[in-house]
């Protein structure tokens, strides 16, 4: 998945944390909600500006970051 279509990092938004484009929702927010047991459907119901592809983009971003960390050590 090309998560760059949905994720941006801007110094003037959320202190440079990766966020979903057009929102102030960070990748961390989405991952935290999922890790605390929220389903995709619950997240989508609570945040109408999101869609399922955006949630998948957050997961892909996290997977890519983890993959890069493994090779950096």
> 3-class secondary structure for the chain?
CCHHHCEEECCCCHHHCEEECCCCCEHHHHHHHHHCCCCHHHHHHHCCCCCHHHHHHHHHHHHHHHHHHHHHC
What pTM does this model have? 0.88
Place 63 in a pLDDT band, splitting at 50, 70 and 90.
Answer: very high
- The mean pLDDT value for 2-15 works out to 95
């Amino acid at each position: 998945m090309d998560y760059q279509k949905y994720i941006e990092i801007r110094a003037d938004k959320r202190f440079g944390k990766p966020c979903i484009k057009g929102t102030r929702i960070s990748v961390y927010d989405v991952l935290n909600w999922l890790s605390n047991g929220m389903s995709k459907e619950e997240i989508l119901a609570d945040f109408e500006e999101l869609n399922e592809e955006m949630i998948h983009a957050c997961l892909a971003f996290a997977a890519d970051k983890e993959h890069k960390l493994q090779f950096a050590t």
